[in-house]
């Protein structure tokens, strides 16, 4: 059995779901994959829970749940940084779940750099650091023979990057097109059923699908990040956000929806990469697609991606949970695959 130390950075929706999931999957990880996952620390904005002896997830969760009930048995240490604690443990996997900041990379950028510098593998749900410095981080990981895995940041439970890198290995990807943002797809589906934009957005927020500040989603940026990251990861390019043409759905004309419906089409926000040799075109576009399009039936919070290849024809993947548990599952998948 291989002991794997985990430092979890960010204990919000995704971090909590991850801890719960690794507790639920403890037996599977041990029996099927030979991995004994141990939590060394949980790091938040200004405090951290640190274990001298890394603990089983269930034990950590017990303490944290006690804490919620007011028993206060989890011993959070104030004002302690990752830098101060990371060297205390045998390197394992840093699970990065801090907020996305695509302008500076946010705290996640420093955390991922630090972890790789100190010989830790990284799995991340955070797009910010990857948008800022994808190649720099990947080079660092490669030089040290470490893994930096990014499924959680590239549509999470919907397999995208694994399909491109593993299942399509040896094929040339000529184009990919994806509905990779559950919030916008939910809004467009609702508008197709007769809602207006604000009501559909409000419903998405009430159902916990959209963020309180949904601008990254509805302005097309979240989709743009994913198109950018997939392109850089698949083709080893160093494209930046300014290379992506971005359209959102905020100024959508309801008449456009009715018109497309009359023609038997649906309006979808598509993230698209197409290329001719080394000439890449990256865009996020609102487009009416017809029944023959592989993503026509991807509705509501569902996501999907379709790849056109030279030797394997068109490959489409649809589905995947759009919530913190689905994201946590993508993080766990990446973690397991580091050791397989």
Instruction: Determine which residue in the list 97, 164, 201, 315 makes contact with ligand NAP, applying CB under 6 A.
Output: 97
CA distance 229 to 176: 13
Q: Decide if residue 207 touches ligand NAP (CB under 6 A).
A: no
Q: Decide if residue 327 touches ligand NAP (CB under 6 A).
A: yes
CA distance 334 to 340: 10
Q: Decide if residue 333 touches ligand NAP (CB under 6 A).
A: no
C-beta atoms surrounding 179 within 10 Å: 25
Q: How far is the CB of 314 from ligand NAP (least distance, A)?
A: 26
DSSP 51: E
Angle between helices 26-33 and 324-339 (to 10 degrees): 30
Q: Decide if residue 11 touches ligand NAP (CB under 6 A).
A: yes
| Two tokens, residue 251 | 């100024």
CA distance 229 to 201: 26
Q: Decide if residue 146 touches ligand NAP (CB under 6 A).
A: no
Q: Using only C-alpha atoms, what is the Rg of the chain?
A: 21
Binding residues among 148-167 for ligand NAP as defined by CB under 6 A: 152, 156
Q: Decide if residue 14 touches ligand NAP (CB under 6 A).
A: yes
Instruction: Determine which residue in the list 5, 100, 147, 231 makes contact with ligand NAP, applying CB under 6 A.
Output: 100
Q: Decide if residue 243 touches ligand NAP (CB under 6 A).
A: no
Q: Decide if residue 43 touches ligand NAP (CB under 6 A).
A: yes
The beta-carbon contacts of 76-81 under 8 Å, at least 24 apart in sequence, are 76/44, 76/47, 76/48, 76/49, 77/47, 77/48, 77/49, 77/50, 78/46, 78/47, 79/46, 79/47, 80/47, 80/48, 80/50
Active site residue 226: yes
Q: Decide if residue 282 touches ligand NAP (CB under 6 A).
A: no
Q: Decide if residue 15 touches ligand NAP (CB under 6 A).
A: yes
Query: CA nearest 58: which of 31, 113, 21, 10?
Result: 21
Q: Which of 16, 25, 149, 226 is catalytic?
A: 226
| Two tokens, residue 24 | 């639920």
Q: How far is the CB of 328 from ligand NAP (least distance, A)?
A: 9
Q: Are strands 244-246 and 279-289 parallel, antiparallel or unpaired?
A: parallel
Q: How far is the CB of 78 from ligand NAP (least distance, A)?
A: 11
Q: Decide if residue 298 touches ligand NAP (CB under 6 A).
A: no
13 or 135: whose CB is closer to ligand NAP?
13
Q: How far is the CB of 90 from ligand NAP (least distance, A)?
A: 22
Q: Decide if residue 12 touches ligand NAP (CB under 6 A).
A: yes
Q: Decide if residue 33 touches ligand NAP (CB under 6 A).
A: no
The H or E element spanning position 35 is: strand 35-43
Give the residues lining the site for ligand NAP (CB under 6 A). Answer: 9-15, 43-45, 97-100, 107, 125-127, 152, 156, 323-324, 327
- Residues carrying an active site annotation: 226
């Amino acid at each position: 059995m291989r002991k794997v130390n985990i430092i979890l950075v960010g204990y919000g929706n995704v971090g909590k779901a991850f801890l719960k999931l690794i507790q639920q999957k403890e037996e599977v990880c041990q029996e099927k994959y030979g991995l004994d996952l141990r939590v060394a620390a949980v790091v938040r904005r200004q405090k951290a829970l640190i274990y001298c002896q890394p603990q089983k997830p269930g034990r950590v969760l017990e303490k944290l749940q006690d804490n919620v009930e007011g028993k206060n048995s989890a011993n959070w240490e104030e004002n302690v940084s990752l830098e101060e604690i990371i060297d205390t443990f045998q390197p394992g996997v840093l699970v990065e779940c801090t907020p996305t900041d695509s302008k500076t990379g946010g705290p996640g950028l420093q955390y991922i750099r630090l972890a790789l510098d100190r010989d830790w593998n990284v799995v991340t749900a955070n797009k910010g650091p990857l948008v800022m410095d994808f190649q720099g981080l990947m080079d660092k990981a490669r030089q040290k023979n470490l893994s930096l895995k990014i499924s959680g940041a590239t549509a999470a439970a919907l397999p995208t990057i694994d399909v491109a890198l593993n299942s399509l290995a040896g094929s040339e990807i000529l184009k990919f097109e994806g509905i990779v943002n559950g919030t916008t797809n939910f809004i467009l589906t609702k508008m197709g059923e007769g809602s207006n934009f604000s009501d559909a957005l409000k419903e998405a927020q009430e159902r916990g699908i959209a963020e309180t500040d949904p601008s990254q989603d509805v302005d097309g940026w979240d989709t743009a990040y994913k198109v950018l990251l997939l392109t850089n990861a698949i083709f080893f390019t160093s494209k930046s956000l300014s290379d992506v043409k971005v359209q959102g759905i905020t100024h959508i004309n309801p008449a456009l929806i009715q018109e497309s419906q009359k023609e038997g089409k649906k309006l979808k926000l598509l993230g698209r990469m197409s290329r001719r040799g080394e000439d890449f075109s990256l865009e996020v576009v609102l487009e009416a697609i017809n029944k023959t399009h592989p993503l026509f039936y991807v509705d509501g919070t569902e996501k999907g991606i379709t790849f056109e290849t030279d030797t394997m024809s068109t490959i489409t993947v649809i589905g995947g949970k759009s919530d913190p548990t689905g994201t946590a599952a993508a993080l766990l998948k990446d973690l397991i695959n580091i050791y397989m």
